[in-house]
Structure formats: C-alpha cells, structure tokens
DNA sequence: TCCAATTAGTTACTTAGGTAACTAATTGTA
DNA sequence: TACAATTAGTTACCTAAGTAACTAATTGGA
C-alpha cells in the first residue's frame, strides 16, 4: 500500500460519504451540496455568495447553481448589498422551520458513520488531514 | 471542529488531489480517471471491464465512458471474452511505450504532495482511513 | 429442454465540481 | 475626472461519478 493507496482511499471515502448523506437527505428533497450551504448559513448567519464560496472552498459557478436551486425551493433569499454587485444570501423562514429536522437526520447519520472509529483515532486523523490540507493549499499560493 | 469538519476536510482533499493530478497529466492529454485505469491495467494486467469497476470501486457507466475514451486515444483494446458479454481490457503497445513517462510524472507529483507529511503520520492516517472505509463498506452490505 | 433470473455492458439523464469567457459594478490611478 | 484594473456573479462547456432502464448473453431450475 503506497501513495496510490492513500489517494484512492481518500477519493473512495469522499464519494461514499457524499452518497450516504444524499440518501439521508433524499426524503427532504435536498442534496449534499445544498445542505452544505444551508448548514453554513444557519451556523454563521447571512453572508455574500463569495463568502460562501470561500468558506466551502468551492468555485463561484457551482455555488451559483446551488444557490439558484435553493432559491427555487424557497429556502434562501438573495438580497442585493449596498455594493450592487453583491448578493447577500439569507435563510428564509421556511428553511429555519425545517432546519431542525434536516440537522437531526444528518447528525445522526454522521454519528452512525463515525461510531466504529474510536474517538481518539478520529481526532488524530482529523487533525492530520486538516494539517495536510492546509500545507497543500499553502504550497499552491507561493 | 466536529464531525462536519472531518467530512469537509476529506472532500476538499479529494478534490484538490484530483485537480493536481489532472494538472500533472494535462501535458499527456490524460485525466485522472483515465490514469487510474491505465495504472491498474499496467500493475495487474489485462482484465474484464467489470473487474476494473470492482478494483476502482466505480459503477459500470462511468467506467464505460473512461474505457471508450481510452480506446479512442488508442491506449487500450477491448477483446471479447469467450463469454461474449465480457470485454477484456488490454493495454496497447502505444500505452506501454508512453507509460513510464506518465508514471514518472505522477509519482514525482505524489511525492511532492506527501513530502510535507511525516512518514510515520502518513502510514498511521493511511491505515486508519483504510480501516474506516472497510468498516463503512461492510456496514452497507449487511 | 425451455423459460426465468442473473450478469456484463451501454444509454440517458442526474448531481457536483472545474475552467474560460463574459457582464456589470466598483476601485485606483494617471 | 476619466479610464484601466479589479471584483461579484453568471453562462457555456468540460470531467467525474451516480441511478434507472435497457440489450444481449449466460446460467439455473421447473
């Protein structure tokens, strides 16, 4: 198991986790990319679209699409900022009402996914990956 | 940094790694999904398309597409098996000739990506993730 | 033996992400 | 101040992976 093994494992994990979250959210008509946005808005409050991109480390075009779908579903509002280029994204009342149910489903799924990983190991892996990601992103901008 | 953090980190890593490999392979007109197939064929030898799917943990339709593109580029041949449903995928001579150059580029990129991660930590994370992935896949089939 | 069930692969359509090229608004500078 | 450069967001088109529904070949059971 050399470098290929690690990369392949990460890709597989990423795909599998997305798939399981999608299954969890299916009853609510949501997909993982939409959930990520809703979660950030609920946790951090309303923010410009560009801030959502930065926070989720996603380029602008996919964010535009996700935002547009959420708007169509009535879960967010796009409020023009005083800088007229900016769209500030707000959760709607409809989203705030439904949110606890979504969150409950996702959190209990997450717990189920992680219950087989010992707490200590989990933290260790998390820190190591986070650190590695940071270094990689740092390398890119130099 | 709770469960969301870990999942988000894994997704970001996966996307970033794919992106960097794609950049590495761009001069050769290859993409990461194609490289994965070429690597397996070179390492394990010719095999049916279904075996490639299983090995790379990818569903049949994306594999069909990748195979078709590789065939169009002249890097693989699809040889009908004695069971006429099966297509056995072989590397062509053209692919074998170019392979060392591809491999050199990818391996040196991989080394560069991992050079900032201490050897010991790397092994530890690799084993932990591999173990976790195995448990998750096990849970699915029960 | 013959027909139902399974298997290998394909086709059509979906989510999710990326880059390049664009528009409109704003900022900075000669 | 006027115009160039930058920024926010969109549009068009790309890779990559997924599901559902299909065809063709093979296997197994009544």
Q: Does pLDDT of A56 surpass 80?
A: yes
Mean pLDDT computed over B101-113: 94
Nucleotides in chain D with any atom closer than 7 Å to protein CB: 7-13, 15-20, 24-27
Q: A124, exposed or middle or buried, with CB in 10 Å at 0-12, 13-18, 19+?
A: middle
Which of B20, B119, B132 is the best substitution to test chain A (most A C-beta atoms within 10 A)? B132
Q: Decide: A64 and A23 in contact? Cβ < 8 Å.
A: no
Residue B103 to chain A, least CA–CA distance (Å):
11
DSSP-assigned letter for residue B117: S
Q: Give me the pLDDT at residue B141, please.
A: 63
Please count the structural domains in chain A: 1
- ipTM score of the complex? 0.92
CA A5 to chain centre: 26
pLDDT single digits (tens) B110-123? 999 998 889 888 99
Whole domain around residue B79: which residue ranges?
Answer: 22-116
d(CA A7, CA B33): 13
Of A9, A15, A116, the CB nearest to B135: A116
Task: Pick out residues 12-51 of chain A having their CB under 7 A from any atom of nucleic acid strand D.
Answer: 15, 19, 48-50
| Domain annotation covers residue B126 | no
- The CATH number that applies at residue A52 is 1.10.10.10
Domain annotation covers residue B99: yes
pLDDT at position A133, please? Answer: 94
Average pLDDT score, chain A: 93
Indicate whether B95 belongs to any domain.
Answer: yes
Closest CA to B10 of A110, A63, A51: A110
């Amino acid at each position: 198991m050399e470098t290929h093994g690690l990369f392949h494992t990460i890709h597989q994990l990423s795909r599998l986790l997305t798939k399981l979250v999608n299954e969890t959210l299916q009853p609510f008509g949501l997909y993982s990319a939409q959930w990520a946005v809703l979660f950030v808005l609920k946790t951090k409050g309303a923010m410009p679209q560009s801030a959502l991109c930065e926070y989720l480390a996603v380029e602008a075009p996919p964010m535009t699409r996700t935002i547009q779908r959420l708007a169509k579903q009535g879960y967010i509002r796009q409020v023009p900022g005083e800088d007229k280029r900016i769209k500030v994204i707000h959760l709607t009342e409809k989203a705030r009402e439904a949110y606890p149910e979504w969150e409950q489903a996702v959190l209990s799924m997450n717990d189920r996914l992680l219950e087989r990983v010992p707490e200590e190991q989990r933290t260790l892996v998390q820190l190591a990956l986070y650190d590695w990601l940071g270094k990689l992103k740092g390398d890119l901008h130099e």
